[in-house]
Amino acid sequence: MDNQTLIYLFVGATFALYIGIAIWSRAGSTSDYYVAGGGVHPIANGMATGADWMSAASFISMAGIISFVGRDGAVYLMGWTGGYVLLAMCLAPYLRKFGKFTVPEFIGERYYSQAARVVAIICVIFISFTYVAGQMRGVGIVFSRYLEVDINSGVLIGMAIVFFYAVLGGMKGITYTQVAQYCVMIFAYMIPAIYISMLITGNPIPQLGFGGTLSGSDTFLLDKLNGLSQELGFNQYTAGSKSTVDMFFITMALMVGTAGLPHVIVRFFTVPKVSDARKSAGYALLFIAILYTTAPAVASFARVNLLETVSEAEYQQLPEWFESWENAGLLAWKDKNGDGKIQYQAGKPFAGKPSFDGDARGASNERIVTNEATDNANELYVDRDIMVLANPEIAQLPGWVIALMAAGGLAAALSTAAGLLLVISTSISHDLLKSNLMPNIDEKKELLAARFAAAAAICVAGYFGINPPGFVAQVVAFAFGLAASSFFPAILMGIFYKKMNKEGAIAGMVSGLVFTFAYIIYFKFVNPAANTPDNWFFGISPEGIGTLGMLLNFVVAYVVAKMTPPPPEHIQHLVEDIRVPRGAGAPVADH
């Protein structure tokens, strides 16, 4: 059976599984739709949280970035993992004990203010749409290569799939679909990693192979990679180029941003008891660690294979996978010196991403790139987001492994996209309509509004997937920065500082979000030419500015709270009660 048939078979089977689960577990009430009825087992919730958490950024793009930038890519590993621990230990159990459906609902009730709730809704929408853009981009990348369609068509297909099980099943359908998606993605990630670790290092455990020697040699893998990188003009793989300040701020933004992500927080509302929230957090951390500890090894294996395969190779003798990714628009080559060989070196080969002259072919049968080449010798463009997906093909693994990787990449992107879209629809239907604009709406109409909101959100997400502002992990990093600067301080002070009032919380969220959003927009869209360390505020990149936004939030909130009346006594008693380590019943809506 050829590779393409296997891909269609694996992807089709997983889609049928997801849709079948959605039909079986479709939501019949708002409680089912928002928090899966509050009756999910901790192990199942841990797997669903892992799938929700390990998005296209984790599965597709994280190892891709590490593969290209080496040590600097460690900020994603450290920030995301540390942030999950912070969320699991410091926030999740207390939010679960509060017993509401959503983060805006917690903000609104804790700060006794509809205005605070509305600000929280705006923050949710900003964060979720920024995050979901990366997921839909990931869906498009996987479809474009494996189903042989363009990226835009791939995004549209992904929209249709997510529409079906997110709109129909709500949190109940998404939860059990994500359990299946976790199983698919972890097998898809680990099997190629084990295979390739055996081929390159002779060690079946990728984490050990990463720090070991090459098979049949005394040379360490990382020493080999450093040598290959330097020969081609790249920085040493194990040497960093970012400043210590920027590394710290990016890591911290990813960490505290994790603890403020609404689609992850809401997962802890789906279990029966507070103790189950703690257990599911532990299970989720274990399930997440399997992939996260493997990612650096996958990144290094992919980099070694790529450098050895394409550098100085004749284009016409390259394996079939190269042309497949070229047709997907994610690889491109221009023979600048006319020798018919690929000169892969440091520097950008083209002015921006490659633009092809239709299906026109050059002298070596390469696709003709029309945008002007930059003034350096590098002839090859490689989209970072393909490294994990292309790794099994570069290593010449069996067709069924390649097909499994396709299914895993789609599972990663679709699982998180569904969770984010549910958060958006819930914020609109429950927090905006039910709690603000239409308090007398009945449950049936509220559920219908949630589904309409999810459908509209999918359309907007699709647009951002077709027109993304950067690489998948880069786009997601912006979402974390927005979450760090808006939600995290409000939630943390809402739990641990009983004298934080509504005026302080609102002022802090608005100032943090506006500052961070404006900084990112300026350097990424308004004046991208100025996006250099010399122009950054205190040398902090847009990816790390969320940390500064968070500090601004804390300072503004504290100062404003000190200058305004303290919260009512019953709110202060509520905060004290949240921190008492006792169990709580299932979440019950206040309507």
Q: Is the pLDDT of residue 588 over 50?
A: no
Q: Is the pLDDT of residue 584 over 70?
A: no
Residue in this structure with the two tokens 């950054």, named with its chain if needed: 536
Closest CA to 567 of 485, 501, 478: 501
Residue in this structure with the two tokens 């920024």, named with its chain if needed: 130
pLDDT 10s digits, 160-176: 877 776 666 566 667 77
Which region holds residue 50: left if phi is over 0, alpha if psi is between -120 and 50, else beta? alpha
| Structural domains of the chain in order of their starting residue, each with its CATH number | 3-302+397-469 (1.10.4160)
CB of 329 closer than 8 Å to CB of 354: yes
Structure tokens, 331:
């690889």
Residue bearing the bigger pLDDT, 158 or 29: 158
Whole-angstrom distance, CA of residue 461 vs CA of residue 455: 10
Residue bearing the bigger pLDDT, 380 or 34: 380
Query: Which pLDDT value is given to residue 589?
Result: 44
Whole-angstrom distance, CA of residue 265 vs CA of residue 472: 22
Q: Is the pLDDT of residue 32 over 70?
A: no
How large is the average pLDDT for residues 48-55?
77
In order of 246, 248, 249, 257, the CA distances from 543 in angstroms are 9, 11, 8, 11
CA dihedral 156, 22, 284, 588 (to 10 degrees): 110
Q: Is the pLDDT of residue 427 over 80?
A: no
Query: Which pLDDT value is given to residue 587?
Result: 46
Query: Which pLDDT value is given to residue 507?
Result: 93
Query: Which pLDDT value is given to residue 590?
Result: 43
How large is the average pLDDT for residues 539-545?
87
pLDDT averaged over every residue in the chain = 80
Q: Is the pLDDT of residue 553 over 90?
A: yes
Whole-angstrom distance, CA of residue 24 vs CA of residue 22: 5
Q: Is the pLDDT of residue 392 over 80?
A: yes
Query: Which pLDDT value is given to residue 585?
Result: 46
One-character DSSP codes across 222-233: HHHHHHHHHHTT
Query: Which pLDDT value is given to residue 474?
Result: 55
CB of 318 closer than 8 Å to CB of 117: no
Instruction: State phi, psi for 368 to the nearest 5 degrees.
Output: -80, 125
Helix residue ranges per DSSP H, 293-368:
295-310, 320-327
Query: Which pLDDT value is given to residue 167?
Result: 65
pLDDT 10s digits, 56-97: 767 877 888 888 888 888 888 888 788 878 877 777 778 777
Query: Which pLDDT value is given to residue 586?
Result: 45
pLDDT 10s digits, 306-351: 888 888 888 888 888 888 888 877 888 888 888 888 888 888 888 7
